[in-house]
Structure 1
Amino acid sequence: MLFWVTTLAWLAGCAGGPPIDRSHHAAGQDSRVRFIVLHYTSENNENSLRILTRDRVSAHYLITDEPVRIYSLVDENRRAWHAGQSQWFGYRDLNATSIGIELVNPGPLDGTRTRWAPYSKAQIGALSALLRDVQSRHHVNAWNIVAHSDIAPLRKTDPGPAFPWRELARQGLGRWYDENAVTQRIPQVTAVELGSPAYIQSLLARIGYPIAQSGVWDAQTRQVISAFQMHYRPANYTGQTDSETVAIAQDLARHFPASTP
């Protein structure tokens, strides 16, 4: 009997332990957050909130539309389940190192994915303010504010070609290319560059995209090209290479090398 009393007392002492002194903070630390991933929900406000709070999928923030409201659903210090199998600049498992932001938007309006729902000015205004806050607190590089389709191009298309990447990038909330330089570069793209799958694959990998270096024009290459075009050339995202696509990728590779994730 005495043994059990002594054991229980010892366990109780371990469970309680001494008080934790939180008065000191190490200089050698930084945020776990390297990336911000943007999504559309494909649902209305009510269904989006239900799915992101009750199902086995989540995001740190949800931005509704009509009316616009920002919901904080997962603490930024915790992992939200929004990215799935993903990769950017060689980093995998982006759920562990990212903030996920969902926007209420139906996405494609037809089965052929030629018509997409627009984002309202008020919703993008709310997103801009949130992005600026999250980016500044976690020191996220502009080229690490990405689409779900950027980090998982074989599975996802969100936030789609209607998303205003150019507008946000001009506010420092994402990366964009030098439009004047690309205009001058387009006629200089060579037939060898345009016709080489190995060159295109290496170029897309250099600017962050997960793409197998197969050296052939396979299905995964077309899908990654389409994801790239949705982000940077949304007027035409067929997945076919052309001089403009190559020139944009070349300019991005010049300014945002993969050695600086």
Structure 2
Amino acid sequence: MTFVRPSRFDSALIRASIACAAALLTACTTMTVDRGTYYADTSHHAQYADTRIRFLVMHYTEIDEAQSLNVLTTEPVSAHYLVPAAPRIRNGEPVVWQLVPESQRAWHAGVSEWQGTTELNAASIGIENVNLGPIDTPQGRTWQPYPPAQVDALIRLAKDIVTRYGIPPTRVVGHSDIAPQRKTDPGPAFPWKQLYDAGIGAWPDAASVTADLAGRAPDAPADVRGLQQKLARYGYDVATDGVLDEKTRRVFAAFQMHFRPRDYAGNPDAETDAIAQALLDKYMPSAPAGATPAR
């Protein structure tokens, strides 16, 4: 092989190529983004930051699918997702409606509070489920069930969301949890236990509930202030004054619809108290009384 010494022109070309490659490498390293009227250098990342999405909120629509799509896309209310009662299937998988990009705020929570955070619209993803909710009959009020196909689609959707955003179990909530004074959705028929079994949301351990009952009858009276404190610690916006007024009853009822749907009259009974304690023991064992989880 014959070695040919590069000419002066070739040497200049080589130096220029090296300089160009170095510039390209620097650009790649600094990750400079052209924003049209300026460049943004994204090579430095702040240590203290997190996702906007920290909660997942469940709803029911109280109207059918066609009406839900119309309302949620044309009126001043919205949700990120709408899960049909009977989702169509594509390639063996259910199809849900996405109405708002996850990066944007949907108008689904309204005046709300959970674990010290207010205005949940700004920090959550909202899922509406096509469901009529309460149905009043001559025999009394019933609640429309959630069909298995809908529950399957909801589990797939919710599992994906909580996994991608790392949403803790105690931050998967119902509209009634975050706004108990004015909302009852997703209602006592909502399959919270099925979601928990699929890895979504919180649920008390039965053995812990039994232990916390400590021999008390489930419907025995519980201390109002003690139950208020437990629910406030778990995340509810509730007074801790020991007064069993209508506002406190609505909070108790919201908690019962979520975790003890067989009886959600809002009475401060021993079983409700034991469930609250079991949840705290499981998910917030080190949190002092009155503390709220870190953001």
The TM-score normalised by the length of structure 1 is 0.87
Q: Which residue of 1 aligns with 2:26?
A: none
Q: Does 1:146 align with 2:166?
A: no
- Structure 1 runs (4+) greater than 6 angstroms displaced: none
1:39·1:103 contact (CA, 8 Å) conserved in 2?
yes
1:187·1:243 contact (CA, 8 Å) conserved in 2?
no
The TM-score normalised by the length of structure 2 is 0.77
Displacement of 1:177: 0.3
Q: Does 1:174 align with 2:194?
A: no
Deviations 1:183-227 (A, max 9, x none): 23224459xx94432111111101111112232111111111110
1:189·1:247 contact (CA, 8 Å) conserved in 2?
no
Out of 34, 37, 43, the residue aligned to residue 17 of structure 1 is: 37
1:115 counterpart SS class: strand
Out of 256, 262, 272, the residue aligned to residue 235 of structure 1 is: 262
Number of equivalences: 244
Bigger-Rg structure (1/2): 2
Q: How does 1:102-251 map to 2 (within 5 A)?
A: 102-110=128-136, 114-188=141-215, 194-251=221-278
Aligned AA (1:169):
Y
Q: Which residue of 2 aligns with 1:5?
A: none
Change (3 A) 1:214 1:25: same
Change (3 A) 1:213 1:259: closer
Change (3 A) 1:155 1:23: same
Out of 113, 117, 131, the residue aligned to residue 87 of structure 1 is: 113
Deviations 1:163-185 (A, max 9, x none): 11011112220000011121232
Aligned AA (1:146):
V
Aligned AA (1:100):
G
1:110 counterpart SS class: strand
1:40·1:107 contact (CA, 8 Å) conserved in 2?
yes
Structure 1 portions without partners, runs of 5+: 1-14
Q: Does 1:70 align with 2:89?
A: no
2:205·2:278 contact (CA, 8 Å) conserved in 1?
yes
Moved more, 81-90 or 177-186: 177-186
1:100 counterpart SS class: strand
1:58·1:80 contact (CA, 8 Å) conserved in 2?
yes
User: Relative contact order: is structure 1 or structure 2 higher (C-alpha 8 Å, sep ≥ 6)?
Assistant: 1
Change (3 A) 1:152 1:130: same
2:116·2:292 contact (CA, 8 Å) conserved in 1?
no
1:189·1:246 contact (CA, 8 Å) conserved in 2?
no
Query: Structure 2 CA distance, aligned partners of 1:189 and 1:217?
Result: 21
Q: Which residue of 2 aligns with 1:50?
A: 70
Aligned AA (2:56):
I
2:224·2:268 contact (CA, 8 Å) conserved in 1?
no
Displacement of 1:27: 5.3
Change (3 A) 1:114 1:25: farther
Query: Structure 1 CA distance, aligned partners of 2:56 and 2:36?
Result: 38
Displacement of 1:109: 1.1
